[in-house]
Homo-oligomer: A and B are copies of this chain.
Amino acid sequence: MAHPALEKHQKVLEQALAAIEARGYWTPYPEMPSPKIYGEEAPVKGKEAFEAHLGKQFVIDQPGQSGWHAGEKSPYGIELGVSYPVCNPDELVAASKQAMQGWQKVGAAGRTGVCLEILHRLNQQSFEIGHAVMMTTGQGWMMAFQAGGPHAQDRGLESVAYAWREQSFIPAQADWEKPQGKNPPIQMKKHFEIVGRGVGLVIGCGTFPTWNTYPGLFAALATGNGVIVKPHSNSILPAAITVRTIRQVLAEYGIDPNLVSLCVAPERSVTQQLATHPDIKSVDFTGGNTFGQWLLDHCKQANVYAELAGVNNIVIDSTDAYKAMLGNIAFTLSLYSGQMCTTTQVVFVPAGGIQTEDGHKTFDDVCTDLAKAIERFLSKPEVAHAVLGAIQSRDTAHRIEQANSGQLGTVLLSSQKLSNPEFPNAVVQTPVLLACDAADEAAYMEERFGPISFVVKVADTAAAIALSERVVSTHGALTVGIYSTNEQVIDAMTEATWRSKVALSINLTGAVLVNQSAGFSDYHGTGANPAANASYTDTAFVANRFRVIQRRYHMQA
């Protein structure tokens, strides 16, 4: 069972297994982009490695290449000009399926070891990947490094750990001895082979091209499957770097690198054909509801793991830390210009206002104070640019315009265009904050991806909790929050989240934001409300990606 790559990374695996059981804080991949940790030359070399891709062909020696595709537009307005191999999807699938035979043969130990080595290499590339994520998604540098590098690697490692735990439960063989009273027992030898279900397709999103891709990628890979990564057409580079590194490591360990390939498919029809290919047995998807629902409806041959849209929300009942609460929410709404699937869109506030340590605050006070808190938080340009990053897509920019116009509610704070001195062509927008009534469901009760949030007036706290539950149950959410000094209110909100099945953050006033999800500890998505049918990461995310094929025969006496 031993495999050199597993031996090399045995300790990380053991720690990861302990971490998924304890779900406290742990990571082997430091999140600080520090030369002390990653090496004195790592920052410069990483940036150079990123820049070396620009304007060039990104060569990956994949089968069925028919040409090159470019066209990524950086939200920071810089020229990228990288072109990627366009390959016949059927050939990629066939080659991956073929390569699965060798991948099956190295067994769970070999697969786990090789995956750990891949993650180790990707970690070493964190600066290069960080820059690639920043420039394709519009994230600020710190987030791009952290979420694009170590945090994404955490999520990949989490999948590998769950996959290993499950596979390690399957005995390679068993002796079955059934007693027959005074007669000799019936003896059978049984062998149990772990077999991947088939090639996995991982469809990336434009905002988190590694963080949302690594869980499915490594879950499928570690459980014996080949993987085709189909990145978002505007965030190809981080996926391409990842795929090339994976292929290098596979080849070093004697595995056919065509097990994993990159599929650049600008037309949706190509992705649709690929997703319904009979040999594609799993689809991991992060993105909008329209295409996500199409996949769920049409990929009958595959298990689909989908993270879709949602309407994340917070209920404010009361607080003993008013300013800190507003600061925390302001940070949440501003971070990466609200372009996180976990960002709060709706803040429910009772019509009668809230109690604070600073006395009673009316509904209008809360509206005004939250708007001011956002303004204050973003008042220093260097902070604003570091936090906001840039707007990833034209659709988001349009939604901001619409919100600014007052069509969706009273504008409490309108979005401002900022000019980034370092990237003059970057599209930078501060958040827009609106107010509306609970009855204005059409306005706030659908996902409006980007820095667009609503303070929604509800009758009282009980109504707010009930409305939050209904929003989550019917429209989905990855996160909800509650602010209250009243234990009964917190309990009521807790029980509401058990019914609507969403993760709850309580009274966040410090360094942790409701939209942050920590690998090995926080379950990202519950898998049981419309925002996602799976979670990063739990056993259900890996256990059905492989199957056990047994054979049995009588033992020779």
Contact = CB atoms under 8 A, between A and B. Distances in A.
Contacts of A523: 192, 548, 550
Interface string A499-513: 001111111111110
A427 B503 CA distance: 58
A547 B518 contact: no
A334 to B, nearest CB: 20
B511 A177 contact: no
B498 A188 contact: no
Interface in A162-192: 166, 169, 171, 174-179, 186, 188, 190, 192
Interface stretch (A61-69, A431-439, A537-545): A537-545
Nearest to A504: B551
B518 A24 contact: no
B510 A186 contact: yes
Secondary structure at the A interface, as helix, strand, loop or mixed, is mixed
Interface string A13-27: 000000011111100
A25 to B, nearest CB: 5
A484 B508 CA distance: 67
B504 A550 contact: yes
Contacts of A518: 176, 178
Contacts of A177: 24-25
Nearest to A550: B503
Contact of A174 (B521, B540, B548, B553): B521
A507 B497 CA distance: 55
B512 A554 contact: yes
Nearest to A165: B169
A498 B192 CA distance: 10
A104 interface: yes
A470 to B, nearest CB: 13
A554 B25 contact: no
A383 interface: no
A195 interface: yes
Given A509-B554, A512-B188, A543 B538 contact: yes
A344 interface: no
Which of A169, A174, A539, A549 has the largest count of B CB atoms less than 10 A from its CB? A549
Contacts of A521: 174, 176, 190
B549 A526 contact: yes
A187 B554 CA distance: 57
A494 interface: yes
Interface in A470-514: 494, 497-498, 501-512
A15 B538 CA distance: 25
A23 B192 contact: yes
A528 interface: yes
Contacts of A195: 498, 501, 528
Contacts of A504: 549-552
A190 to B, nearest CB: 7
A556 to B, nearest CB: 11
A210 to B, nearest CB: 21
A179 B37 CA distance: 15
A506 B553 contact: yes
A258 interface: no
A494 B548 contact: no
B503 A528 contact: no
A414 interface: no
A46 to B, nearest CB: 22
Contact of A169 (B508, B527, B539, B550): B539
A196 B395 CA distance: 38
A538 B178 CA distance: 22
Closest 5 CB pairs between A and B?
A506-B553, A540-B544, A504-B551, A540-B543, A528-B547
29 contacts: A21-B169, A22-B171, A23-B176, A24-B175, A24-B176, A166-B539, A178-B518, A188-B512, A192-B523, A193-B498, A296-B300, A498-B549, A502-B549, A503-B549, A503-B551, A504-B549, A504-B550, A506-B552, A506-B553, A507-B553, A512-B554, A522-B552, A523-B548, A523-B550, A526-B547, A535-B547, A538-B543, A539-B539, A544-B544
Given A503-B550, A504-B549, A538-B543, 19 more contacts: A22-B171, A23-B171, A23-B174, A24-B175, A24-B176, A25-B178, A169-B539, A176-B521, A193-B498, A497-B551, A503-B549, A504-B552, A505-B552, A506-B552, A507-B554, A522-B552, A527-B544, A535-B547, A540-B543
